[in-house]
Amino acid sequence: MNKEITAKNTQFLTILVVIITAFITTFTGSALNLSIPAIGGEFNASAVMVGWIVNGYILAAAVFAVPFGRLADMTGRKRILVTGIFIFALCAGGASFVRSMGILLLLRIVQGIGAAMIFSTNTAVLISAFSPEKRGKVLGYSIASTYIGLSAGPVVGGFLNHYLGWRSIFIVTFVISILVFFIAVKKLPGGNVRKNGQGMDIVGNILYILMITLIMFGLSSFSTLAYAKLLILAGVTLFIIFIVHELKTAYPIIEVRLFAHNIGYSFSNLAALMNYGATFALGYLLSIYLQMVMGFDSQIAGLILISQPLVMAILSPYAGRLSDRVSPFKLASFGMGLCALGLFSFIFISENYPFPLIIVNLIVVGVGFAFFSSPNTNAVMACVEKKDYSVASSILATMRSIGHSMSMAIVTFIISRQMGTATLNDAEPGQIVDTMHIAFIVFTIICAVGIFVSLKRKQQD
């Protein structure tokens, strides 16, 4: 009886830590979206430069997620998780006092490293504490918390930015992060550590970090750096070298053979890349549109933007539970289709676009993402053994981060072509609307390709 109570307490505390970390990492991003004009105005930075407040965080998270995932599987997931939470909290605290754009960007990059440590371990920690038949259910709770963070971000962030300034967002982030750090240190079980003699693939880690950095930085800087194409080419070359190395090494950082031998695993990760790449910049674009074109303050803009993540938060636990009984591949394909429909509707946005229709379109995307994310995560984790949960989780997180970076790179490229180096305050409403037209056409195409990928995977189910 005591063992059963202890096990339930452990499961509760595990869910608590995972839910809070999932919340705070997304809350920070969505809350800052509404502060982009304010940050750009304070530091007199161009729209492209301010975009790196988002890009730098995403880039660091993508680069380090897989290396930390492998390290967590070898040395202990709790150790990596609590270290990541501490770094995340420390950077949030520091960002609330910065007086230069350069220091703010640096702190956001380091905060992204902390986020990588969180992303690579929290899902693995969660599903390790529960039986396989409950995996979809608990993943639903975790992903719902992610969307609650997205929901609270625009509302709380808009309120804080409007009344207390954008720095207050980082202060709130610091307080929540430091509290969950102490809970994780004192209450989270240590977990299992691999003791099978496997070594760390140092060469593989270096190749991976370099190739992801070059590719993502090249994509993000494609419109602003003349040699960005060379960076991408170098990254792709290193990717080929990395694959060859991983096939030969005894203890690879990524078991690349799994992608060739497991179609469901491969296409689930690819579908995630497509979905995040098509949808991530939606909030960023609309936050600019609602404030700079329609004239709403950040608080009202946040109330409008809340509709999408709120629907995600409500439906994700249901979609997660449903994926324990219905094919997660089929549910994810359905969700991808709804996302494409919502993005397609935004192609027709204008300077006089009715904001209730914006809410309807956001709800459609929110429903689609809820039915995609939890089932797709369940599908990915079902394809690997328990000992590789951290790496599988970090690869999925990397797909998310690369998708996010790809999404922002597309927006940055289009903005630079349409607006040059002009600040957001100097941009004409027509320029912003034209930029959004092009962006949503591109995102709809990406999501349409993602539907094909999901349906192809479904055929293998």
293-302, 397-406, 429-438: segment of lowest average pLDDT: 397-406
Q: Parse the chain into domains and list their residue ranges.
A: 2-189+251-460, 201-250
Q: Write out the DSSP string of 1-41.
A: -HHHHHHHHHHHHHHHHHHHHHHHHHHHHHHHHTTHHHHHH
Looking at residue 150, what is its pLDDT?
65
Q: Which residue has the higher pLDDT, 50 or 419?
A: 50
Looking at residue 338, what is its pLDDT?
93
Task: Determine the Cα–Cα distance for residues 366 and 27; give it in Å rounded to an integer.
Answer: 16
| pLDDT of 186 strictly over 60 | yes
119-128, 194-203, 343-352, 388-397: segment of lowest average pLDDT: 194-203
| pLDDT of 6 strictly over 90 | no
Within 201-351, residue ranges assigned H as helices are 202-220, 228-248, 257-261, 263-279, 281-288, 298-305, 307-322, 328-346
Looking at residue 87, what is its pLDDT?
96
Looking at residue 190, what is its pLDDT?
65
| pLDDT of 144 strictly over 70 | yes
DSSP 8-state assignment for residue 134: G
| pLDDT of 197 strictly over 80 | no
Mean of the per-residue pLDDT values for the chain? 81
| pLDDT of 460 strictly over 70 | no
Residue-wise pLDDT for 151-170, tens only, equals 677 678 878 887 888 899 99
| pLDDT of 343 strictly over 90 | yes
* 19 touches 13 (CB < 8 A): no
Please state which architecture CATH assigns to domain 2-189+251-460: Up-down Bundle (1.20)
Quickly state the pLDDT bin for 192 (edges 50, 70, 90). low
| pLDDT of 171 strictly over 90 | yes
Task: Determine the Cα–Cα distance for residues 22 and 312; give it in Å rounded to an integer.
Answer: 14
327-331, 332-336, 368-372: segment of lowest average pLDDT: 327-331
Cα 258 to Cα 209, 216, 245, 273, 378, distances in angstroms: 20, 24, 15, 17, 17
| pLDDT of 405 strictly over 90 | no
Task: Determine the Cα–Cα distance for residues 241 and 174; give it in Å rounded to an integer.
Answer: 40
Residue-wise pLDDT for 211-238, tens only, equals 888 887 787 677 667 788 898 899 999 9
Vertex 43: Cα angle to 163 and 422 (nearest 5): 110
Q: Is the dihedral of CA 367, 369, 374, 375 positive or negative?
A: positive
Quickly state the pLDDT bin for 173 (edges 50, 70, 90). very high
Task: Determine the Cα–Cα distance for residues 109 and 58; give it in Å rounded to an integer.
Answer: 8
Looking at residue 195, what is its pLDDT?
46
Looking at residue 8, what is its pLDDT?
67
Q: Which residue has the higher pLDDT, 422 or 149?
A: 149
Percent of the chain having pLDDT more than 90? 18
Residue type, 431: Q
Task: Determine the Cα–Cα distance for residues 450 and 275; give it in Å rounded to an integer.
Answer: 7
Looking up tokens 């967590």, which residue turns up? 72
Task: Determine the Cα–Cα distance for residues 118 and 68; give it in Å rounded to an integer.
Answer: 9
Identify the CA nearest to 98 among candidates 35, 41, 178, 166: 166
| pLDDT of 200 strictly over 90 | no
* 71 touches 201 (CB < 8 A): no
Looking at residue 179, what is its pLDDT?
93
* 122 touches 26 (CB < 8 A): no
106-120, 182-196, 200-214, 441-455: segment of lowest average pLDDT: 182-196
Percent of the chain having pLDDT more than 70? 88
Cα 399 to Cα 216, 266, 273, 425, 457, distances in angstroms: 12, 11, 5, 33, 17
Q: Write out the DSSP string of 39-95.
A: HHHHHT--HHHHHHHHHHHHHHHHHHHHHHHHHHHHH-HHHHHHHHHHHHHHHHHHH
Q: Is the dihedral of CA 191, 23, 362, 287 positive or negative?
A: negative
Looking at residue 92, what is its pLDDT?
94
Q: Which residue has the higher pLDDT, 114 or 250?
A: 114
Looking at residue 5, what is its pLDDT?
53
Highest-scoring range by mean pLDDT, 140-149, 275-284, 321-330, 339-348: 339-348
* 262 touches 383 (CB < 8 A): yes
| pLDDT of 363 strictly over 90 | yes
Q: Which residue has the higher pLDDT, 74 or 176?
A: 176
